[in-house]
Structure 1
Amino acid sequence: MKHILFDFDGTLADSAHLHMQAWNALADRYKFKPVTIEDLHSTRNLTIQQRAKLYNFPMHKLPVILPKIYQHFKENIGEVKLFEGIKEMLDALSSQGYIVGIVSSNAKENIEILLKQEQIDSVSQVLSSSKIFGKDAVIKKFMKQHNLVPNQILYVGDEVRDIIACNKVAVPFMWVSWGLDGYELIEKEKPKYVIHSPEELIDILS
Protein backbone atom coordinates (compact mmCIF):
# COMPACT_ATOMS: atom_id res chain seq x y z
CA MET A 1 0.00 0.00 0.00
CA LYS A 2 1.80 3.10 -1.25
CA HIS A 3 -1.03 5.44 -2.27
CA ILE A 4 -2.98 7.25 0.44
CA LEU A 5 -6.05 9.21 -0.68
CA PHE A 6 -7.69 11.67 1.67
CA ASP A 7 -11.08 13.27 1.86
CA PHE A 8 -10.73 17.03 2.40
CA ASP A 9 -13.53 18.66 4.41
CA GLY A 10 -13.80 17.20 7.90
CA THR A 11 -10.74 14.98 7.40
CA LEU A 12 -7.90 17.36 6.57
CA ALA A 13 -9.64 20.76 6.74
CA ASP A 14 -11.54 22.07 9.75
CA SER A 15 -14.19 23.72 7.59
CA ALA A 16 -17.55 22.81 9.17
CA HIS A 17 -18.09 26.37 10.43
CA LEU A 18 -17.61 27.79 6.93
CA HIS A 19 -19.99 25.32 5.30
CA MET A 20 -22.48 26.11 8.05
CA GLN A 21 -22.16 29.86 7.32
CA ALA A 22 -22.83 29.22 3.63
CA TRP A 23 -25.78 26.93 4.38
CA ASN A 24 -27.37 29.46 6.71
CA ALA A 25 -26.85 32.32 4.24
CA LEU A 26 -28.86 30.33 1.67
CA ALA A 27 -31.48 28.92 4.04
CA ASP A 28 -34.03 31.72 3.86
CA ARG A 29 -33.79 32.08 0.09
CA TYR A 30 -34.26 28.37 -0.58
CA LYS A 31 -36.69 27.73 2.30
CA PHE A 32 -34.69 25.23 4.32
CA LYS A 33 -33.82 25.41 8.02
CA PRO A 34 -30.57 26.94 9.31
CA VAL A 35 -28.17 24.86 11.43
CA THR A 36 -26.04 25.48 14.52
CA ILE A 37 -22.79 23.90 15.72
CA GLU A 38 -24.89 22.00 18.27
CA ASP A 39 -26.97 20.59 15.41
CA LEU A 40 -23.84 19.28 13.69
CA HIS A 41 -22.93 17.36 16.83
CA SER A 42 -26.42 16.05 17.57
CA THR A 43 -27.00 14.75 14.02
CA ARG A 44 -23.66 12.95 13.57
CA ASN A 45 -25.35 9.56 13.38
CA LEU A 46 -28.07 10.56 10.91
CA THR A 47 -27.69 9.85 7.21
CA ILE A 48 -27.54 12.69 4.69
CA GLN A 49 -31.11 11.87 3.69
CA GLN A 50 -32.29 11.98 7.31
CA ARG A 51 -30.57 15.32 7.86
CA ALA A 52 -32.09 16.70 4.68
CA LYS A 53 -35.56 15.76 5.90
CA LEU A 54 -34.88 17.26 9.33
CA TYR A 55 -33.82 20.59 7.82
CA ASN A 56 -36.47 20.62 5.11
CA PHE A 57 -33.83 20.40 2.38
CA PRO A 58 -34.90 18.87 -0.94
CA MET A 59 -32.03 16.67 -2.15
CA HIS A 60 -32.78 17.48 -5.80
CA LYS A 61 -31.53 21.01 -5.12
CA LEU A 62 -27.98 19.81 -4.34
CA PRO A 63 -26.64 20.65 -7.83
CA VAL A 64 -27.89 24.22 -7.32
CA ILE A 65 -26.76 24.66 -3.71
CA LEU A 66 -23.32 23.01 -3.71
CA PRO A 67 -21.64 25.41 -6.18
CA LYS A 68 -22.88 28.33 -4.07
CA ILE A 69 -21.47 26.74 -0.91
CA TYR A 70 -18.10 26.14 -2.56
CA GLN A 71 -18.06 29.70 -3.88
CA HIS A 72 -18.62 30.94 -0.32
CA PHE A 73 -15.78 28.64 0.74
CA LYS A 74 -13.45 30.20 -1.83
CA GLU A 75 -14.36 33.75 -0.83
CA ASN A 76 -13.68 33.00 2.84
CA ILE A 77 -10.90 30.44 2.60
CA GLY A 78 -8.66 32.48 4.86
CA GLU A 79 -10.89 31.33 7.74
CA VAL A 80 -10.15 27.64 7.10
CA LYS A 81 -7.32 25.79 8.78
CA LEU A 82 -6.10 22.22 8.72
CA PHE A 83 -6.84 20.16 11.80
CA GLU A 84 -4.00 20.08 14.32
CA GLY A 85 -1.31 17.58 13.34
CA ILE A 86 -2.44 17.21 9.71
CA LYS A 87 0.52 19.01 8.12
CA GLU A 88 2.99 16.97 10.16
CA MET A 89 1.14 13.76 9.24
CA LEU A 90 1.20 14.55 5.51
CA ASP A 91 4.89 15.45 5.64
CA ALA A 92 5.66 12.23 7.53
CA LEU A 93 3.78 10.10 4.98
CA SER A 94 5.63 11.76 2.12
CA SER A 95 9.00 11.27 3.81
CA GLN A 96 8.17 7.57 4.31
CA GLY A 97 7.61 7.17 0.56
CA TYR A 98 3.81 7.23 0.45
CA ILE A 99 2.18 8.98 -2.50
CA VAL A 100 -0.48 11.29 -1.09
CA GLY A 101 -3.58 12.47 -2.96
CA ILE A 102 -6.92 14.10 -2.21
CA VAL A 103 -10.33 13.03 -3.55
CA SER A 104 -13.07 15.46 -2.55
CA SER A 105 -16.42 16.82 -3.63
CA ASN A 106 -15.13 20.31 -2.84
CA ALA A 107 -13.75 22.29 -5.77
CA LYS A 108 -10.18 21.46 -6.80
CA GLU A 109 -9.31 25.16 -6.87
CA ASN A 110 -10.43 25.60 -3.25
CA ILE A 111 -8.31 22.68 -2.09
CA GLU A 112 -5.23 23.87 -3.95
CA ILE A 113 -5.61 27.38 -2.52
CA LEU A 114 -5.72 25.99 1.02
CA LEU A 115 -2.75 23.68 0.44
CA LYS A 116 -0.73 26.65 -0.77
CA GLN A 117 -2.00 28.77 2.12
CA GLU A 118 -0.87 26.08 4.60
CA GLN A 119 2.44 25.49 2.75
CA ILE A 120 1.65 21.85 2.00
CA ASP A 121 3.79 20.40 -0.78
CA SER A 122 3.42 16.71 0.08
CA VAL A 123 0.15 16.23 -1.87
CA SER A 124 0.86 14.96 -5.38
CA GLN A 125 -2.64 15.07 -6.88
CA VAL A 126 -6.03 16.65 -6.15
CA LEU A 127 -9.13 15.09 -7.69
CA SER A 128 -12.62 16.55 -7.41
CA SER A 129 -15.90 14.71 -7.75
CA SER A 130 -18.60 16.81 -9.40
CA LYS A 131 -21.21 14.69 -7.61
CA ILE A 132 -21.49 14.40 -3.83
CA PHE A 133 -22.08 10.64 -4.19
CA GLY A 134 -19.64 10.10 -7.08
CA LYS A 135 -16.31 9.43 -5.37
CA ASP A 136 -16.25 5.75 -6.37
CA ALA A 137 -16.05 6.77 -10.04
CA VAL A 138 -13.17 9.17 -9.29
CA ILE A 139 -11.29 6.53 -7.27
CA LYS A 140 -11.83 3.98 -10.05
CA LYS A 141 -10.46 6.47 -12.57
CA PHE A 142 -7.46 7.12 -10.30
CA MET A 143 -6.71 3.39 -10.11
CA LYS A 144 -6.87 3.05 -13.87
CA GLN A 145 -4.70 6.13 -14.40
CA HIS A 146 -1.97 4.76 -12.12
CA ASN A 147 -2.46 1.09 -12.98
CA LEU A 148 -3.32 0.16 -9.40
CA VAL A 149 -5.38 -2.56 -7.75
CA PRO A 150 -7.60 -1.72 -4.75
CA ASN A 151 -5.29 -3.06 -2.02
CA GLN A 152 -2.53 -0.71 -3.19
CA ILE A 153 -4.62 2.24 -1.97
CA LEU A 154 -5.94 3.43 1.36
CA TYR A 155 -8.72 6.03 1.50
CA VAL A 156 -9.01 8.17 4.62
CA GLY A 157 -12.30 9.96 5.31
CA ASP A 158 -14.92 10.99 7.85
CA GLU A 159 -18.27 10.32 6.16
CA VAL A 160 -20.36 7.24 5.49
CA ARG A 161 -20.67 8.22 1.81
CA ASP A 162 -16.86 7.94 1.61
CA ILE A 163 -16.76 4.38 2.90
CA ILE A 164 -19.73 3.37 0.72
CA ALA A 165 -17.85 4.69 -2.32
CA CYS A 166 -14.72 2.77 -1.27
CA ASN A 167 -16.68 -0.44 -0.71
CA LYS A 168 -18.03 -0.18 -4.26
CA VAL A 169 -14.48 -0.33 -5.63
CA ALA A 170 -13.03 -2.59 -2.87
CA VAL A 171 -10.58 0.04 -1.60
CA PRO A 172 -9.67 -0.20 2.13
CA PHE A 173 -11.09 2.63 4.22
CA MET A 174 -9.81 4.41 7.32
CA TRP A 175 -12.35 6.44 9.32
CA VAL A 176 -11.29 9.52 11.29
CA SER A 177 -13.37 10.27 14.36
CA TRP A 178 -12.96 14.08 14.30
CA GLY A 179 -15.12 14.70 11.22
CA LEU A 180 -18.80 15.03 10.32
CA ASP A 181 -20.26 11.54 10.73
CA GLY A 182 -20.47 9.45 13.89
CA TYR A 183 -19.29 5.88 14.43
CA GLU A 184 -22.82 4.43 14.52
CA LEU A 185 -23.16 5.27 10.83
CA ILE A 186 -19.68 4.12 9.90
CA GLU A 187 -19.49 0.79 11.74
CA LYS A 188 -22.25 -0.73 9.60
CA GLU A 189 -19.97 -0.41 6.56
CA LYS A 190 -17.02 -2.09 8.34
CA PRO A 191 -14.05 0.29 7.97
CA LYS A 192 -10.65 -1.41 7.93
CA TYR A 193 -9.22 1.13 10.37
CA VAL A 194 -10.60 3.61 12.93
CA ILE A 195 -8.37 6.42 14.19
CA HIS A 196 -8.78 9.31 16.61
CA SER A 197 -5.73 11.42 15.74
CA PRO A 198 -3.38 12.05 12.79
CA GLU A 199 -0.56 10.50 14.85
CA GLU A 200 -2.51 7.24 15.01
CA LEU A 201 -2.53 7.05 11.22
CA ILE A 202 1.27 7.23 11.14
CA ASP A 203 1.53 4.59 13.87
CA ILE A 204 -0.72 2.18 11.96
CA LEU A 205 1.07 2.60 8.66
CA SER A 206 4.47 2.34 10.30
Structure 2
Amino acid sequence: MMKTIFKAAIFDLDGTLLDSIGDLSLSMNETLASYGLPTFPLPFHKSAVGNGVRAYAEKCIPAEKNTPEFLNEFVAQMGARYDKNCTAHTAPFDGILPLLNFMREQNIALNVLSNKVDSFAKTMTHHFFKEYGFQNVYGERPGVPKKPAPDAALAIAESCGAAPSEVLFIGDSIYDVMTGKNAGMVSLAAAWGYQSEEMLIEKEPDFVAHTPLDIIDYLKDRS
Protein backbone atom coordinates (compact mmCIF):
# COMPACT_ATOMS: atom_id res chain seq x y z
CA MET A 1 0.00 0.00 0.00
CA MET A 2 1.33 3.42 -0.93
CA LYS A 3 2.17 5.90 1.82
CA THR A 4 2.34 9.62 1.17
CA ILE A 5 5.06 11.82 2.64
CA PHE A 6 2.46 14.35 3.83
CA LYS A 7 0.86 14.32 7.28
CA ALA A 8 -1.69 17.13 6.88
CA ALA A 9 -3.57 19.20 4.34
CA ILE A 10 -4.93 22.71 4.86
CA PHE A 11 -7.71 23.70 2.48
CA ASP A 12 -9.17 27.07 1.69
CA LEU A 13 -12.99 26.89 1.71
CA ASP A 14 -14.72 29.15 -0.86
CA GLY A 15 -13.50 28.42 -4.37
CA THR A 16 -11.49 25.40 -3.24
CA LEU A 17 -13.64 22.93 -1.32
CA LEU A 18 -16.97 24.64 -1.97
CA ASP A 19 -18.44 26.27 -5.05
CA SER A 20 -20.16 28.99 -3.05
CA ILE A 21 -20.05 31.96 -5.41
CA GLY A 22 -23.77 31.73 -6.24
CA ASP A 23 -24.83 32.24 -2.63
CA LEU A 24 -22.13 34.84 -1.93
CA SER A 25 -23.05 36.90 -5.00
CA LEU A 26 -26.77 36.61 -4.26
CA SER A 27 -26.27 37.86 -0.71
CA MET A 28 -23.99 40.69 -1.81
CA ASN A 29 -26.29 41.83 -4.61
CA GLU A 30 -29.33 41.71 -2.33
CA THR A 31 -27.50 43.88 0.20
CA LEU A 32 -26.35 46.35 -2.45
CA ALA A 33 -29.87 46.60 -3.86
CA SER A 34 -31.33 47.20 -0.39
CA TYR A 35 -29.24 50.40 -0.23
CA GLY A 36 -30.08 51.40 -3.80
CA LEU A 37 -26.53 50.64 -4.96
CA PRO A 38 -25.52 49.02 -8.28
CA THR A 39 -25.25 45.24 -8.34
CA PHE A 40 -22.67 43.15 -10.22
CA PRO A 41 -22.57 40.10 -12.52
CA LEU A 42 -21.08 36.80 -11.41
CA PRO A 43 -17.61 37.29 -12.98
CA PHE A 44 -17.09 40.42 -10.89
CA HIS A 45 -17.94 38.56 -7.70
CA LYS A 46 -15.48 35.79 -8.56
CA SER A 47 -12.72 38.39 -8.83
CA ALA A 48 -13.76 40.16 -5.62
CA VAL A 49 -13.90 37.30 -3.09
CA GLY A 50 -11.00 35.66 -1.29
CA ASN A 51 -9.75 38.16 1.27
CA GLY A 52 -12.64 38.25 3.73
CA VAL A 53 -16.11 39.79 3.68
CA ARG A 54 -14.96 43.31 4.53
CA ALA A 55 -12.53 43.43 1.61
CA TYR A 56 -15.23 41.91 -0.61
CA ALA A 57 -17.68 44.63 0.41
CA GLU A 58 -15.12 47.38 -0.13
CA LYS A 59 -14.77 46.26 -3.74
CA CYS A 60 -18.54 46.43 -4.25
CA ILE A 61 -19.45 49.70 -2.52
CA PRO A 62 -19.02 52.97 -4.45
CA ALA A 63 -16.06 55.02 -3.23
CA GLU A 64 -18.23 57.90 -2.01
CA LYS A 65 -20.14 55.53 0.33
CA ASN A 66 -17.09 53.67 1.56
CA THR A 67 -16.77 55.07 5.08
CA PRO A 68 -15.95 52.92 8.13
CA GLU A 69 -19.39 53.53 9.61
CA PHE A 70 -21.28 52.56 6.47
CA LEU A 71 -18.99 49.59 5.83
CA ASN A 72 -19.66 48.22 9.33
CA GLU A 73 -23.40 48.49 8.80
CA PHE A 74 -23.20 47.02 5.31
CA VAL A 75 -21.09 44.04 6.36
CA ALA A 76 -23.54 43.25 9.16
CA GLN A 77 -26.45 43.31 6.69
CA MET A 78 -24.51 41.19 4.21
CA GLY A 79 -23.77 38.66 6.97
CA ALA A 80 -27.43 38.40 7.93
CA ARG A 81 -28.45 37.74 4.33
CA TYR A 82 -25.67 35.23 3.78
CA ASP A 83 -26.72 33.38 6.92
CA LYS A 84 -30.06 32.71 5.21
CA ASN A 85 -28.60 31.95 1.76
CA CYS A 86 -25.34 30.16 2.50
CA THR A 87 -26.43 26.61 1.63
CA ALA A 88 -29.03 27.37 -1.06
CA HIS A 89 -26.83 26.72 -4.10
CA THR A 90 -23.44 25.90 -2.57
CA ALA A 91 -21.96 22.42 -3.08
CA PRO A 92 -18.54 20.75 -3.09
CA PHE A 93 -16.68 21.04 -6.38
CA ASP A 94 -16.61 17.93 -8.55
CA GLY A 95 -13.75 15.72 -7.42
CA ILE A 96 -13.49 17.10 -3.88
CA LEU A 97 -15.13 14.13 -2.16
CA PRO A 98 -12.89 11.56 -3.91
CA LEU A 99 -9.88 13.69 -2.94
CA LEU A 100 -10.94 13.84 0.71
CA ASN A 101 -11.59 10.09 0.72
CA PHE A 102 -8.13 9.43 -0.71
CA MET A 103 -6.51 11.71 1.86
CA ARG A 104 -8.32 9.94 4.70
CA GLU A 105 -7.07 6.59 3.37
CA GLN A 106 -3.55 8.05 3.52
CA ASN A 107 -4.07 9.28 7.11
CA ILE A 108 -3.61 12.89 6.03
CA ALA A 109 -5.18 15.17 8.65
CA LEU A 110 -7.79 17.44 7.05
CA ASN A 111 -8.04 21.12 8.00
CA VAL A 112 -9.63 24.34 6.77
CA LEU A 113 -8.16 27.84 6.92
CA SER A 114 -10.36 30.50 5.39
CA ASN A 115 -10.61 34.28 5.38
CA LYS A 116 -14.37 33.73 5.75
CA VAL A 117 -15.84 34.76 9.12
CA ASP A 118 -14.94 31.99 11.57
CA SER A 119 -18.53 31.06 12.47
CA PHE A 120 -19.46 30.68 8.79
CA ALA A 121 -16.33 28.62 8.07
CA LYS A 122 -17.22 26.21 10.86
CA THR A 123 -20.91 26.04 9.92
CA MET A 124 -20.22 25.41 6.24
CA THR A 125 -17.53 22.79 6.83
CA HIS A 126 -19.75 20.93 9.30
CA HIS A 127 -22.76 21.11 6.96
CA PHE A 128 -21.00 19.75 3.87
CA PHE A 129 -18.17 17.64 5.29
CA LYS A 130 -19.35 16.44 8.70
CA GLU A 131 -18.36 12.83 8.04
CA TYR A 132 -14.77 13.72 7.13
CA GLY A 133 -13.71 14.76 10.61
CA PHE A 134 -11.78 17.92 9.81
CA GLN A 135 -9.28 18.37 12.63
CA ASN A 136 -9.10 22.19 12.61
CA VAL A 137 -11.49 24.64 10.95
CA TYR A 138 -10.58 28.30 11.24
CA GLY A 139 -11.92 31.41 9.59
CA GLU A 140 -11.14 35.04 10.24
CA ARG A 141 -10.76 35.56 14.01
CA PRO A 142 -10.02 38.67 16.08
CA GLY A 143 -6.37 38.93 17.05
CA VAL A 144 -5.19 36.33 14.52
CA PRO A 145 -3.61 37.69 11.31
CA LYS A 146 -5.55 36.47 8.30
CA LYS A 147 -4.02 34.94 5.19
CA PRO A 148 -1.44 35.41 3.74
CA ALA A 149 0.11 35.65 7.23
CA PRO A 150 1.41 32.17 8.14
CA ASP A 151 0.46 32.22 11.85
CA ALA A 152 -2.76 30.19 11.72
CA ALA A 153 -1.35 27.73 9.17
CA LEU A 154 1.69 27.06 11.36
CA ALA A 155 -0.55 26.56 14.42
CA ILE A 156 -2.59 24.01 12.47
CA ALA A 157 0.57 22.15 11.43
CA GLU A 158 1.73 22.01 15.03
CA SER A 159 -1.65 20.67 16.19
CA CYS A 160 -1.34 17.89 13.59
CA GLY A 161 2.18 16.99 14.68
CA ALA A 162 3.52 17.91 11.26
CA ALA A 163 6.52 19.92 10.14
CA PRO A 164 5.60 22.67 7.65
CA SER A 165 7.27 20.69 4.85
CA GLU A 166 4.86 17.81 5.58
CA VAL A 167 1.78 19.97 5.02
CA LEU A 168 -0.09 20.70 1.79
CA PHE A 169 -1.68 24.14 1.56
CA ILE A 170 -4.43 24.06 -1.08
CA GLY A 171 -6.33 27.13 -2.27
CA ASP A 172 -7.66 29.02 -5.26
CA SER A 173 -6.40 32.54 -4.51
CA ILE A 174 -3.07 34.30 -4.47
CA TYR A 175 -3.53 34.67 -0.71
CA ASP A 176 -3.55 30.88 -0.39
CA VAL A 177 -0.42 30.42 -2.50
CA MET A 178 1.31 33.14 -0.51
CA THR A 179 0.22 31.65 2.83
CA GLY A 180 1.60 28.24 1.92
CA LYS A 181 4.89 29.72 0.82
CA ASN A 182 5.12 32.04 3.84
CA ALA A 183 4.58 29.04 6.13
CA GLY A 184 7.18 26.88 4.37
CA MET A 185 4.49 24.41 3.27
CA VAL A 186 3.89 22.79 -0.11
CA SER A 187 1.65 25.21 -1.96
CA LEU A 188 -0.92 23.75 -4.36
CA ALA A 189 -2.92 26.21 -6.46
CA ALA A 190 -6.53 25.17 -7.11
CA ALA A 191 -7.04 26.43 -10.65
CA TRP A 192 -10.63 25.17 -10.66
CA GLY A 193 -11.60 28.03 -8.33
CA TYR A 194 -12.35 31.71 -8.75
CA GLN A 195 -8.99 33.35 -9.45
CA SER A 196 -7.29 33.20 -12.83
CA GLU A 197 -4.57 30.62 -13.37
CA GLU A 198 -2.27 33.39 -14.61
CA MET A 199 -2.52 35.25 -11.30
CA LEU A 200 -1.86 32.05 -9.37
CA ILE A 201 1.19 31.15 -11.44
CA GLU A 202 2.68 34.60 -10.83
CA LYS A 203 2.96 33.66 -7.12
CA GLU A 204 4.93 30.50 -8.03
CA PRO A 205 3.01 27.68 -6.34
CA ASP A 206 4.69 24.30 -6.09
CA PHE A 207 1.97 22.73 -8.22
CA VAL A 208 -1.08 23.90 -10.18
CA ALA A 209 -4.04 21.51 -10.01
CA HIS A 210 -6.77 21.95 -12.61
CA THR A 211 -9.11 19.52 -10.86
CA PRO A 212 -9.10 18.01 -7.35
CA LEU A 213 -8.24 14.67 -8.94
CA ASP A 214 -4.92 16.15 -10.11
CA ILE A 215 -3.95 16.33 -6.43
CA ILE A 216 -4.49 12.59 -6.06
CA ASP A 217 -2.04 12.05 -8.90
CA TYR A 218 0.37 14.52 -7.32
CA LEU A 219 0.27 12.57 -4.05
CA LYS A 220 0.71 9.22 -5.77
CA ASP A 221 3.81 10.55 -7.52
CA ARG A 222 5.28 11.50 -4.12
CA SER A 223 4.57 8.32 -2.19
TM-score between both structures, scaled by the size of structure 2: 0.75
Of residues 129-138 and 87-96 in structure 1, the stretch that sits farther from structure 2 once superposed is 129-138
* 1:157 positional shift: 0.2
Which of the numbers 183, 189, 200 marks the counterpart of 1:175?
189
Partner of 2:115: 105
Partner of 1:72: 81
* 1:104 positional shift: 1.0
1:174 match: secondary structure: strand
1:116-155 matched pairs, under 5 angstroms: 116-118=126-128, 120-122=130-132, 123-130=134-141, 134-135=146-147, 136=149, 137-155=151-169
Of residues 176-185 and 136-145 in structure 1, the stretch that sits farther from structure 2 once superposed is 136-145
1:157-172 matched pairs, under 5 angstroms: 157-172=171-186
Q: Deviations over 1:141-193 (max 9, x none)?
A: 22344453320111100011112222222222111112111122111210001
1:86-101 matched pairs, under 5 angstroms: 86-101=96-111
Following TM superposition, the consecutive aligned residue runs of length 4 or more in structure 1 with deviations greater than 6 angstroms are none
Partner of 2:206: 192
1:162 match: secondary structure: helix
* 1:70 positional shift: 4.3
Bigger Rg, structure 1 or 2: 2
State the identity %: 18
* 1:198 positional shift: 1.3
Give distance in 2, aligned partners of 1:33 and 1:142.
40
1:21/1:203 CA distance change after superposition, 3 Å: same
* 1:6 positional shift: 0.3
TM-score between both structures, scaled by the size of structure 1: 0.80
Does the CA-based 8 Å contact 1:133-1:165 persist in structure 2? no
Aligned CA RMSD, in angstroms, stands at: 3.3
Give distance in 2, aligned partners of 1:107 and 1:39.
21
Of residues 159-168 and 126-135 in structure 1, the stretch that sits farther from structure 2 once superposed is 126-135
Of residues 72-81 and 108-117 in structure 1, the stretch that sits farther from structure 2 once superposed is 108-117
Give distance in 1, aligned partners of 2:18 and 2:67.
24
Of residues 196-205 and 132-141 in structure 1, the stretch that sits farther from structure 2 once superposed is 132-141
Give distance in 2, aligned partners of 1:127 and 1:64.
24
1:196/1:98 CA distance change after superposition, 3 Å: same
1:59/1:176 CA distance change after superposition, 3 Å: farther
* 1:84 positional shift: 1.5
Unaligned runs of 5+ in 1: none
**Counterpart code for 2:28:** W
**Counterpart code for 1:204:** Y
Give distance in 2, aligned partners of 1:105 and 1:14.
15
Which of the numbers 17, 25, 35 marks the counterpart of 2:40?
35
**Counterpart code for 2:110:** V
